[in-house]
Amino acid sequence: MKNSEFLIKSTVDGKEDPQMQLYDYCLPPLTSATYTIETEQQVVWNKKSLNETYNKQQQFLVDGPRFTLDPSMVYSIFPPANKQGHYENNLPHIVLTKRTLPWERTIDDKQQTGPPTPWLAVLLFTEEEVSKAQNSTVAKLLTPDDDSILPPDVKDVTDEQKALQCLIVDVSTDTFNDIVPAKDELRYLAHCREVDMANKELRGDIEDGWFSVVVGNRFPVTDKNENTSYIACLVSLEGFSEYLHGGTAIPDTYKKVRMAVLATWSFTVLPAKGETFGNLAQNLDNCSLRLQNKPEQTESEEEKLVAAAFHDGYVALNYDTRGGEHTAAWYRGPCIPVKLNNANLEPFFSAETGMIYDKTTGLFDVSYAVAWQIGRLLALSDSDFAVGLMKWRKEQKVGQNLQLEQQKAYNRLKGAFETNINLLGNKAPNKKAISYMIRDFLTTSFVQKVCPQDNIKQPLVKKADPTGTENRIAGLPGLLNQQQVVELLKHGSNIAHKMKEILKEKHNY
C-alpha cells in the first residue's frame, strides 16, 4: 500500500477531524494465481550411515473475482442507477467494499514492477455505441461463435470456470480504441480510501471504513436540447494489455471486442439550460421567500388577510383532516422573510398539538405540526438515535416506578415508626431518606423499648441468661463480670498477665 498523504479533514469546534485518507493502491499479500510451495529436508544419522534428502511440492490457488462480482462488494455507484440529472461534470465511478480488488490480478499475467496497474476499469458508452450487457458463459466469452469478435487473451481457465454464468458486452473496435484508457493511465483511475464511518449509514456486512474506487475516464456529455442515456460498465481488462490506447492496433479481421462485465448501470444526462449553480445563484431574487402572486386588490378584509399571509411567507395548501373533511390550511417553511417574536411555546407531544387554529378564518396553521413530524421521521430514520431514545425512555420509566415505590414505602414506614420528621425538606423521599428514618427509629424509639433507661419499665424483650450466672457471680470464685471481661480484652497480647492481676486482686491468689 502506498500512501499519497492526501488527507481530507473537517474542523469541528476548532479541532481538525480526519474524514478520509487516500492511497494510491492497496496490494494484497498474494495476487490471484496458482502458487507452488517446495520444501527440502535432509536427514543425517551417523550411527546408521544415513544421509537422505526428501523433497515435497504442494500447489495452492489464490482465487478472487475474475469474470463475475458478488453484488455485495458494490458499496455505491455514481451517477445513481436509472436516474436523470446534470452529470456532465462528473466522471462515473464505483465504490467497492474490498480494498484490494482492483490490484488482485494483472492485465498481462506478468509480475508487476513499480506501481501496480489495476485490472478493472469503468467504461462509459452511449446507447448508440453499445447495447446493454447480456447474460452468457465464460466459455462464450473466451471463444465467441463469431470469428470477427476479439476475445480476451486469458490463460489458466478451468473447465469449471468456463461453465460459470457471466455478463458480456460487445464493443466495436472503433469505440474500443476511442474510449479505452492507456496502460499508463489506469493507475490514476483507481485508488484506495479509508473513510471515517462515524456519520455514515453502515451496512451489516461492513465493519470498517476501507474501500477501493474505480473511476471512469470519460465525461458524459449531452446535446443542448435532448436527453442522453449512458451505460456505465465495470469491465475486466485482463487479456487486453497490448490493445490498450496507444498500444498495438487491433487486427482488421476483428470488428468487435468482447469484454467481461462485472457491474453495469444506466443513467440519463439532462441538457444544460443555464441551471448550473452559478447561474441560479446570480439570478436569485432577494425577495423570493415571499410569494409574488399576492392579490393586487386589498380593499376587502379577506384580500388584506391573504396579502398579509403571503407577505409573511405563508402558502395556502389543500388539507384533509383526520375526520375526512377537505379544507385548506396555511403553511410556511423554516426560512421566512420576517422576524418572529419569541412565543415561548411548550414542547409538542404530537403533531396535532403543534397545530394552530384561527377562529376568525376557520383555518389551521400546520407549520409547527409539519416541522414536528419531519423531525420525528428524521430521528426514527437514524438507528443510533432511535435505540438511544428507547433506552432513555426505559430508564426514565424505571426511575419513575422506583420513585413511586419509594414514596409508598416512605409513607408506610412513616406511620409505622410514629415519626413526623421531614428529613429532606420539600424533596421527594428516596432511598437515603428511608434509611435515615429506619436508623432514627432504631436508635431512639426502638432502643428505649428494648432497653429502657427507667428501671421500672419492663423491656420489650426479656434479656436471656443462658449460663444461669447473672445473679451468682459473687458466689463463684474466679468468674469475671462483664466489666472485667471488657477491661481484660483491651490488653490484647497481655491478656494472661492482666487476668492474673485481676484474680490476685479479687481472691488474693
Asked if 124 and 232 touch (Cβ cutoff 8 Å), the reply is: yes
Q: Any idea which residue has 462509459 for its cell?
A: 124
Asked if 171 and 256 touch (Cβ cutoff 8 Å), the reply is: yes
Cis peptide before 79 (omega within 30 of 0): yes
Asked if 164 and 250 touch (Cβ cutoff 8 Å), the reply is: no
d(C-alpha 153, C-alpha 258), whole Å: 11
Helix 495-507 vs helix 482-489: angle between axes, to the nearest 10 degrees?
150
d(C-alpha 15, C-alpha 9), whole Å: 10
Pairing of strands 256-269, 149-150: parallel
Q: In what side-by-side order are the strands of the sheet with 190-195?
A: 2-12, 15-25, 190-195, 210-215, 93-96, 74-78
d(C-alpha 75, C-alpha 424), whole Å: 59
User: What local confidence, expressed as pLDDT, does residue 348 receive?
Assistant: 84
Single-letter amino acid, residue 457: K
- Cell digits of residue 12: 469541528
Single-letter amino acid, residue 168: I
Which run of H or of E encompasses 414?
A: helix 383-416
- Cell digits of residue 440: 432514627
- Cell digits of residue 82: 436509472
User: What local confidence, expressed as pLDDT, does residue 424 receive?
Assistant: 45
The 10s digit of each residue's pLDDT in 465-507 is 666 666 666 666 666 666 777 777 776 667 777 777 777 776 6
Ramachandran area for residue 306 (φ above 0: left; ψ -120 to 50: alpha; else beta): alpha
Q: Any idea which residue has 546408521 for its cell?
A: 48
Asked if 87 and 210 touch (Cβ cutoff 8 Å), the reply is: no
Give the number of other CB atoms < 10 A from CB of residue 119.
25
Instruction: Name the phi and psi angles at 28, rounded to 5.
Output: -75, 160
User: What local confidence, expressed as pLDDT, does residue 458 receive?
Assistant: 62
Asked if 99 and 26 touch (Cβ cutoff 8 Å), the reply is: yes
How many CA atoms within 13 Å lie on the side-chain side of 402?
8
Alpha-carbon dihedral sign for residues 324, 326, 327, 331: positive
d(C-alpha 488, C-alpha 497), whole Å: 10
Asked if 7 and 21 touch (Cβ cutoff 8 Å), the reply is: yes
User: What local confidence, expressed as pLDDT, does residue 493 receive?
Assistant: 65
- Cell digits of residue 423: 428529613
Single-letter amino acid, residue 218: R
Report the chain's terminal Cα–Cα distance, integer Å: 96
Give the number of other CB atoms < 10 A from CB of residue 32.
17
Task: Report the candidate in 121, 115, 68 with the shortest Cα–Cα distance to residue 243.
Answer: 121
Domain ranges for the chain = 71-269, 301-378, 385-450, 464-509
- Cell digits of residue 140: 462464450
User: What local confidence, expressed as pLDDT, does residue 137 receive?
Assistant: 95
The runs of H, that is alpha helices, within 329-382 are 367-381
d(C-alpha 61, C-alpha 156), whole Å: 11
Asked if 250 and 243 touch (Cβ cutoff 8 Å), the reply is: yes
Q: What stretches in the chain show pLDDT beneath 50?
A: 420-421, 423-426
User: What local confidence, expressed as pLDDT, does residue 17 receive?
Assistant: 64
- Beta bridge partner(s), residue 364: 329, 357
